[in-house]
Amino acid sequence: MKKKKKEIENELVATSWVNESSFPQMFEHAQKLVTSALVPFKKPEDLVLVWQYGKDIGLSFSQAINELYPIPGSGGTRVCAGVHVHEGILLAGDIQYEIIEDAIEVQHYKIKGLGTVILSMKEVQQKIEEGYYQIVTPADFDKNGKLNIEQTAKFFIMRIDCPHLPEGYSNRRTSIRFIRKSKNIDQIVDYYLHEAAQAGFLSKGNWVQHQRAMLYARCFTKGAKRYGSDLLKNLGETSEVAQYSGVDYTFDEKGNATIDTSFEEVEEDVEISDKSE
């Protein structure tokens, strides 16, 4: 028989149980909480997981249960949070960040003798003014493939299509600078739209509707994991973990990811059936 919400509230004294460190006692509290409307979880093990994880990364109990998601996958359940939680953890530590480029359009260029580079229009123009690049097109070659124009810069460059993007897509780049003075880190991290295409993300509506926010989320978490893994303690980003785990999620223009929790209900039904047997 389920207890009423008021009975559960009376049993759980806020000043003591939220700081509980014993796993059996945490699990006991979790079993009581999931039968009420006090927490957004249906399974006590999920509540204990995010509760302990929140403590590990410095979140209060209320923050943990509202900001952290447990997502099951082939490697076990993974705890994750939206990118804004990652931002807060890094800022509370000793990492600062600065957005350098926000989903700017970039083009792929083949440079004779150097291979392929990805450049923004601003970068190309700067190099042209410095006498470093000279743009050529197919019209500048004769029928034998030899250039028929005078070289006025150090390198010829010619724009080519990005091989990883479907037709109709322009490549874009988000760049974020991460600064961690205590470890002498001052680095810029890039994330390109073609990386999302290579990972199979562009088939999802979130990448079509909220491309700028998705690029930012991927770029930020890429840099955060690289330079702040000790602060994040393997905390995943919600949309990324959900994507790889095959769990549906929605993403808004502010960068907030929300998962579809229907999979929890299915698992809960199975567990109830097993126990009744």
Condensed to tens digits (0 to 9), the pLDDT of residues 23-70 reads 888 898 899 899 988 898 989 999 999 999 998 888 889 999 999 999
pLDDT tens for each residue of 61-114: 999 999 999 998 877 889 999 999 999 999 999 999 999 999 999 999 998 778
**Mean pLDDT of the region 16-20:** 63
Question: Does the pLDDT at position 267 exceed 60?
Answer: no
Could you read off the pLDDT of 220-239 as tens digits, one per residue?
999 999 999 999 998 999 98
H or E segment and range at residue 230: helix 211-232
pTM comes to 0.80
State whether residue 21 is helix, strand or coil: coil
pLDDT in tens, 37-47: 889 898 999 99
Residue 8's pLDDT is 52
Q: How many whole angstroms separate alpha carbon 204 and alpha carbon 214? A: 11
CB environment 49-80: b (16+ within 10 A), e (fewer): bbbebbbebebebebbbebbbbbeeeeebbbb
- b/e code 115-152 from CB counts within 10 Å (16+ = b): eebebbeebbeebeeeeebbebeeeeeeeeeeeeeeee
